Amino acid sequence: MVNIEIQNAKKEMYPSIRQQRIDAYNEYANVLPVDHWNALKNSISSKVDEQEGVDLIVATILGKIVGSVALFPAKTNAYEGYVEELDYPEIRMLAVDSTCRGQGVANALISECINRTKEKGFEAIGLHTGEFMKNAISLYEGIGFKRLPKFDFQPADDGINVRAYQLKFRLED
C-alpha cells in the first residue's frame, strides 16, 4: 500500500494545484460542449479556494502532490452564486493526478474532509459533481453520499446538470 500524506496546502503550491486540477479534469474537454468545458475550467482554476475559511488540502506521495481538494465552510458562496449558502461544509474541486488514480488518494482526501467536518461539530457534508463524471459519482455513492436534487444547477445553461450530494453522519461515528 502506498503511503499517502495529507496536509494543508501552502501558498506556493496553489499554482501547481490549479494546473493539476485542469490536467485531471481535461478528460472531459472533448466530451463536453465548449461553453460547459470553459465554465468548468474557469471554476476549477479560479481563486475561489482562497476565500476565508476554505481548507485547501493536498495529498502527497514521496513529497509529490498527487491530489487536492478544497473544503468550503458552511454558509459560504462555494459555487459563485449557483447554489444558495448551505448549512454544512462542501467538498469542491477534488482532483487526483491521472497517474495515481486507483491508489486511494481520493478516498484519503474525502476522509480528511469528513473528519474535519465532524471535528467542527457538523453532522453532514456536501458536494456537487457533473453528471458526466461517472467515476466520481460511483466513488461518492460508494462512500454513502445521497442525492439532493433540489441543489442541482446548470452552469452553462446547456442541459448538463451539476448534481448535489450530501453525506450525513453522527458525530460519535
Q: Is residue 172 very low, low, confident or very high in pLDDT (cuts 50, 70, 90)? A: low
pLDDT the model gives residue 115: 96
β-pairing, 64-72 with 55-61? antiparallel
Q: With contact defined as beta carbons under 8 Å apart, do 90 and 126 qualify?
A: yes
Element (H, E) at 165: strand 162-168
Sketch the domain layout of the chain as residue ranges.
Answer: 5-168
d(CA 171, CA 119): 8
Of 19, 37, 46, whose CA–CA distance to 133 is shortest?
37
C-beta of residue 67 within 8 angstroms of C-beta of residue 100 = yes
Mean pLDDT of 140-169: 91
pTM of the predicted model, to two decimals? 0.92
Contacting residues for 173 by C-beta, under 8 A, at least 6 apart: 118
What is the CATH code for 5-168? Answer: 3.40.630.30
User: Are the C-beta atoms of residues 163 and 129 closer than 8 Å to each other?
Assistant: yes
Residue 57 and residue 71: Cα distance in Å, rounded? 8
Per-residue pLDDT at 21: 96
CB atoms within 10 A of CB 87: 11
* Grid coordinates belonging to 98: 491521472
Distances (CA, A) of 16 to 2, 9, 58: 22, 11, 11
Q: What is the pLDDT of residues 101-145, one digit of tens each?
A: 999 999 999 999 999 999 999 999 999 999 999 999 999 999 999
Sequence letter at residue 158: D
Per-residue pLDDT reduced to its tens digit, 25-73: 999 999 999 988 998 999 899 888 998 899 999 999 999 999 999 999 9
DSSP secondary structure letter of residue 153? B
